Amino acid sequence: MSAMLEVRDLVTAYGKIEALRGVSLEVQAGSITCLLGPNGAGKTTLMMTIAGILRPRAGSVRFAGREIARRPPHEIVGAGVALVPENRLVFPGMSVRENLYAGAYLRRDGEIEADLERLFERFPRLRERAGQDAGTLSGGEQQMLAVARSLMSRPKLLLMDEPSLGLAPLVVEEIFRIVADLHRDGTTIFLVEQNAHMALRVAHHFYLIEQGRITFSGDPGSLAEDEVIRRAYLGSARR
């Protein structure tokens, strides 16, 4: 495996608050890599910086060997990186089908309908609700839609920001089944997760982020699970 994504010394700030204070990490092609860490550690900021929604103050982000930091979001999507944002953020007043077309807004190829059909096979509930406003879906269905919408851009790297947040245990299981399926079909996945137990079950590699810095990196098993979970929720500073 080689690094598909290389983040080096990344600094992102909100005014005077540095949310990322020199983050470096790699996501290997073909892997499921997880980012764990307590609230406010900088996980969402990192995902938004990689996706081009936030501009870093310093550092670099290389995707497939190309610098993408400071490129506009649509170019990053075009390069093959898609973000499933935290809290799903589907377009509530648009139908499920319209949300899915929105995910393909950069594509000019003739395979959009075929991809839509494949997604409806993968997510049968979305087919049943294709004409319904996205805002009327359950939380789990909205999460499926957010994932499916990002897949419409045919990403090579899928960034997922806390996909299980606020969902019932059975739905969480389903989300992780989808993550495993997407990975089997060749998508590289970089996942932010509060549910460390589930994350460690699917991940090949994980990073811990605390207060804007990576404090641990390893394979599941390289740190006792209860220690990972404790640091993922509380951070090591509060030992």
CB of residue 206 to ligand ATP, shortest distance in Å: 15
- The H or E element spanning position 184 is helix 169-184
Please, what is the minimum distance in Å from the beta carbon of residue 165 to ligand ATP?
9
DSSP state of 123: -
Least separation in angstroms between CB 163 and ligand ATP: 13
Exposure string of 165-198, with b = 16+ CB inside 10 Å and e = fewer, is bebeeebbebbbebbeebbeeebbbbbbbbbbeb
Euclidean distance between CA atoms 43 and 209, whole angstroms: 7
- Nearer to ligand ATP among residue 16 and residue 184 (C-beta): 16
Please state, in angstroms and as integers, the Cα–Cα distance from residue 230 to each residue in 100, 149, 236, following that order: 38, 33, 8
User: Between residues 23 and 96, which has the closer beta carbon with respect to ligand ATP?
Assistant: 23
Q: Which chain residues interact with ligand ATP by CB under 6 A? A: 14, 17, 19, 37, 39-45
Question: Taking the complex as a whole, how short is the minimal distance between the CB of residue 228 and ligand ATP, in angstroms?
Answer: 15
Note whether 95 and 134 are within 8 A (CB). Answer: yes
Of the pair 20, 100, the CB lying nearest ligand ATP is at 20
- Based on CB atoms, which residue is closest to ligand ATP, 17 or 170? 17
